[in-house]
A and B are shown apart, each in its own frame.
Chain A
Amino acid sequence: MNPPVIGPELEHRPTPPGKHARREDVKFAAGKIAVFQYGGVLIFLFLITGFWSLQVQNPQVYNEQAERNSIKQLPIPAPRGKILDRDGRVIVDNHSSYSLILTRENLKTEHLRTIAEGLNLDYDDLSARVRRFTSRPKYDPIIIKEELTPGDLAFVESHRDFFPEMELIPSQRRLYPQNGFAAHAIGYTGEISEEELDSPDFAKYSQGAVIGKFGIERQYNDSLMGVDGERQVVVDNRGKTRRVLANKEAIPGKDLQLTIDLDLQAVAELAMEGKNGAVVAMDPRTGEVLAMVSRPTFDPNKFAVRIKSSDWREIADNPDHPLLNRAIQAQDAPGSTFKPFVAMAGLESGAIDDQFTVHCSGGASFYGSYHKCWWKPGHGAVSLHRGIQQSCDVYFYNVGDRTGIDKIAFYANQAGLGQKTGIDLPHEAEGVVPSSAWKIRNFREKWYAGETISVAIGQGALTVTPLQLASAYCWFVNGGLWRQPHLVKGGKYREHSWPLSADNVSKVIYGTWGVVNEPGGTGVRAQLPGLNVCGKTGTAQLASNKFLAGKTGKQYEDNAWFVGFAPREAPEIVVVALYDHGGHGQFAAPVARDVLKAYFDKKARLAAARTSGRESDGELKIGRFLRFELPPSPAPPAPETKSPIIEAAYFSSDDGDDASMIRP
């Protein structure tokens, strides 16, 4: 068989004539082969220099990069301590969830559309968010979704291989009660801000930490927070953990037990529904705050993750300032609720005695100006008891005039007015108790005796917060022992004492009993059958009312106060209600009455339950406020985080039950 012609002129190869000829034949390329050899040497040298520069000259650069590839620090967030009520029921809980972040070292913009579709995010929003981050440092991850649903998690798990930029981080979310329940006392948490990082209080925390921003959450942040753990792991190219190098467990935050009674708080919240103002309930025997309400309120859950700007605007632009804790920040004239202190100052200083009487003809002149009594026809002959019971202004003008401003101010200060009570909440207001020294200090002017007349009926420069007023009444019913109001059980709290005559105290208390229980009393709306409720109404005239009326064209009513306490013989609870623009103190009285009733009803039920052995009867249905709205979470909260009260809240019906129990 002849092979086909492939080369030029194919013919049978002639046998070389001899060894010599053959040698010449193959030497044809000797020089060129040498060129090839030199080329080979150069190529190998070229390759070796590559390894030299990577492995010998700067291996540490690549060691670091290899480590950065494979060694990851995974934060283990410490669960924040729960906040419990005085009976151990959970008010604020946590639940754990996952957030998705994009790491930008390996982010590919062409993946964004698929990621957005997979996670039900808006593509334009997502790409805008990614663009905004381009100026930030690379290690700053972009959080693109929080509270991942099981569907989201499945998407992330199944797409990890293709989109290595997606990374899941576990996070803890705070669960607050709904409807702004006790929101001002509890406060809220949020991501630490730049300014806070610079402040000494938060210096020990690092960027991205979630800290208490407001209320109890802020005040007790250090003990609630716990210490985050960290796990150092070796991961492969798919982000799977291959080995754990180091494991530092998280130290969970400590649970915090408040003095707040959920039942009382719920009743107070309900009583204030639709009103602006504040309620404070205190136990005079301990200084414990049993309930604290401020209205309008806000939903702390909106702050729990990262507040949306629209939500923030809504809160910040609200003219009623929902973030103001009126219980400790509203500074109002106490009006007639101050009169018992004027009476005490007069009696204790000896300026008057219990026989002191004046004639009220609807007004009186002092130092050249005429001061009206609120009751135009006049009260006629007024004694101490009637003066308090009917809140006769003329009687107290006289008492104040006789006692003098500095004596009044002394007793007011003993009662805790005009200074911060030191309650364990941030941003407390001081209030003002005017005195001659105060006037010189602030205005460099002498005090005029005529100014005392207004102060004697709780007006003038005098301002108090609802909490101060509550602590002042506690002082008074305790016979001169002042206790620092507080929200957390078991702390060390201040107290001071200026013993008052028991006789004087019981006379003034008798007057406040009359306010509620005798015909013609201003606080009869606070009556509770079978209970000796004492109380005092107050109406704070506001200079700002005229200003507001001019600005909004709306006529604003005066602020209404009511302070109630019971039982008369040995007071266990003092309730202060401030009803903004309520008109007259008598309209604030039902609020205080509801709380007092709830307190004594609960006490009676608990006593009955103890004798009958049925513990559960002692509880009110308060599910309406504590129905935690759980976002869809990948794993249901662990059983131990579910408190009985949350479970009860899920299953109890609240169709008007609450209201009907309080207003029979």
Chain B
Amino acid sequence: MTRYLRPRDLDWTLLVISLVICGVGVLQIYSATRGTVWQEAWWKQIVYIAAGLVLMWLTVTIDYHTMMNYVAYLYGLSVVALLAVLLIGKQAFGSRRWIPVAGGFHLQVSEFVKLVIILLVAHFLTELKTEDLEGRDMAKIAGLVAVPMLLVVKQPDLGTALTYVPILIVGMFLAGMRWKYLVAIGIVVLLVLPVGWTVLKDYQKARLVSFLDPDHDPRGTGYQLIQSKIAVGNGGMWGKGVTLGSQTQLRFLPVPHTDFIFSAFAEEHGFVGVIVVLALYFVLIMQIVQNAQTASDKAGVYICMGVAALLLFHVLVNVGMVVGRMPVTGIPLPLMSAGGSSVLSNFMMLGLVNNVRLRRFVN
């Protein structure tokens, strides 16, 4: 563990792709917020990205094994922080998600709890003695994840709470979950998510979302979905061009720089742009999976796969929402959506992946 960490050993493919996606995001934030109250969001985003790179490096420097030794404290801290959010958090858009820190920056605690969940799951599953995952252990780890999750649901922020689930499921799957459990979970997921979703009528979808998260969307889920689909379709094959998408520029598209940034991007860059960026995300996730495959121990595998699962889920839900194939749950698109907490936590996750990578030959 005394080995000198050199930046050139970082996963540069991962880093370059991430920065390209960030760049596309900044451009889109600029285009979508021109002449609005958020018009400074694009350079703030650049500051967050720079800060994210620093945090990423800091995350790399602490051995992930060390981190895992302190996972109980981190877990306890997370629960306390989430409780604090509920008690003293800043309220915005009908929910309490933020606690103020210095410099006018508000921290969205639930974003950073993701990292703790990844470490928690990795640690718990690494220490298992049995070959297959026992039902008892499954209940234990699920219960541990459920506590912060419920606190986040209470904010209410169903979308972010749901992002903890794929970390758990993928972890348990890798740990040797019995097929019968997997199939059961798979059926439930399939019913609730895409397949079930497309079977439901629009108003049923809206009702379902309203039922799960009544305060989420005061102006009408249906309106957002319709406007998003119009924006995407309006882009056509080649797109309307930067700053020229009417849905985005005239603000028919809701929050075009955060949750619906991919919709704005699709309008201004068309199907071609969509394919390019989706390909970047695909390569990004597969590069993380590749790091899992080369990890030196189980913990490293679980950490990388947790990050991959989380990002895949984010892309599925956010991009699926943009084209009306997923409910409007309001989770950001990793690395593209404007927002400090999301950018910082994403770079810290990339830090975790590099952390594992840099220690693949070391014991």
Instruction: Report A's interface with B, CB cutoff 8 A.
Output: 3-4, 6-10, 13, 15-16, 22, 25-26, 28-30, 32-33, 35-37, 39-41, 43-44, 46-48, 50-52, 54-56, 58-59, 61-63, 65-67, 69-70, 106, 234-238, 242
Contact = CB atoms under 8 A, between A and B. Distances in A.
Contacts of A47: 278, 315-316, 319-320, 323, 325
Interface of B: 65, 69-73, 75, 120, 123-129, 137, 140, 144, 170, 173-174, 176, 194, 223, 227, 229-237, 246-247, 250-252, 266, 270-271, 274-275, 278, 281-282, 285-286, 289, 292-293, 295-298, 300-301, 305, 308-309, 312, 315-316, 319-320, 322-325, 363
Given A26-B300, A29-B301, A47-B325, A55 B252 contact: no
Contacts of A41: 282
B250 A235 contact: yes
Given A7-B128, A47-B320, A66 B247 contact: yes
Contacts of A56: 236-237, 271
Given A3-B70, A69-B252, A55 B236 contact: yes
Given A47-B325, A236-B250, A55 B271 contact: yes
Contact of A66 (B75, B246, B275): B246
A32 B286 contact: no
B124 A6 contact: yes
A215 B231 CA distance: 53
Contacts of B126: 7
Contacts of B315: 43, 47
A404 B313 CA distance: 109
A22 B297 contact: yes
A313 to B, nearest CB: 43
Contacts of A234: 246, 250
Given A7-B127, A26-B295, A26-B297, A65 B278 contact: no
Contacts of B128: 7-8
The secondary-structure label for the interface of chain A is helix
Nearest to B124: A7
B252 A70 contact: yes
A44 B281 CA distance: 9
Contact of A54 (B65, B174, B233, B286): B233
Nearest to B281: A44
A234 B235 CA distance: 18
B320 to A, nearest CB: 6
B233 to A, nearest CB: 2
A16 B252 contact: no
Contacts of A65: 230, 233-234
Contacts of B125: 7
A36 B305 contact: yes
A52 B127 contact: no
Given A22-B296, A40-B285, A46-B316, 15 more contacts: A3-B70, A26-B300, A28-B298, A33-B293, A44-B282, A47-B278, A47-B315, A48-B275, A55-B235, A55-B270, A55-B274, A58-B233, A65-B230, A236-B250, A236-B252
Contact of A59 (B120, B144, B227, B236): B236
B230 to A, nearest CB: 5
B253 to A, nearest CB: 9
Contacts of B65: 13
A66 B231 contact: yes
Contacts of B237: 55-56, 59
B234 A63 contact: yes
B278 A9 contact: no
A237 B260 CA distance: 16
A66 B230 CA distance: 6
B236 A9 contact: no
Ranked nearest first, the 6 interchain pairs of A and B with the lowest CB-CB distance are A62-B233, A50-B323, A7-B127, A59-B236, A66-B234, A55-B271
A70 B363 contact: no
A44 B276 CA distance: 12
A267 to B, nearest CB: 61
A51 B124 contact: no
A71 to B, nearest CB: 8
Nearest to B271: A55
B83 to A, nearest CB: 19
7 contacts: A8-B127, A33-B174, A41-B282, A46-B194, A70-B250, A236-B252, A237-B251
B221 to A, nearest CB: 14
A235 B297 CA distance: 59
Contacts of B124: 6-7
Given A55-B266, A70-B250, A26 B174 contact: no
A52 B234 contact: no
A596 B117 CA distance: 103
A24 to B, nearest CB: 11
Most chain A CB atoms below 10 A, which of B230, B266, B271: B230
Contacts of B300: 26
Given A3-B72, A33-B289, A51 B266 contact: yes
A33 B305 contact: yes
Nearest to B293: A33
Nearest to B228: A54
A63 B252 contact: no
A55 B240 CA distance: 12
Contacts of B266: 51, 55
A237 B252 contact: yes
A481 B319 CA distance: 89
Contacts of B229: 54, 62
A37 B286 contact: yes
Contacts of A22: 296-297, 363
A43 B281 CA distance: 12
B232 A51 contact: yes
Given A6-B72, A62-B230, A236 B289 contact: no
Given A48-B275, A54-B232, A25 B298 contact: yes
B14 to A, nearest CB: 15
Contact of A55 (B75, B129, B233, B324): B233
B311 to A, nearest CB: 10
A29 B132 CA distance: 12
A15 B127 contact: no
Given A37-B289, A47-B320, A26 B170 contact: no
A67 B300 CA distance: 51
A420 to B, nearest CB: 59
B234 A62 contact: yes
Contacts of B137: 8
Contact of A44 (B69, B234, B236, B278): B278
Contacts of A33: 174, 289, 292-293, 301, 305
Please indicate which of the listed interface residues A8, A30, A51, A236 has the most CB atoms of chain B within 10 Å of its own CB: A51
Contacts of A29: 174, 301, 305
A55 B272 CA distance: 10
B278 A43 contact: no
A16 B251 CA distance: 58
A36 B274 contact: no
Contacts of A238: 251
A104 to B, nearest CB: 15
A16 B71 CA distance: 23
Contacts of B292: 33
A57 to B, nearest CB: 9
A237 B250 contact: yes
Contacts of B295: 26
Contacts of B231: 62, 66
Nearest to A43: B316
B278 A61 contact: no
Nearest to A63: B234
Contacts of A61: 233
A10 B128 CA distance: 9
Given A16-B363, A63-B236, A69-B252, A50 B325 contact: yes
B127 A9 contact: yes
A301 B237 CA distance: 57
Contact of A6 (B123, B297, B324): B123
Contacts of B227: 69
Contacts of A28: 174, 176, 298, 301
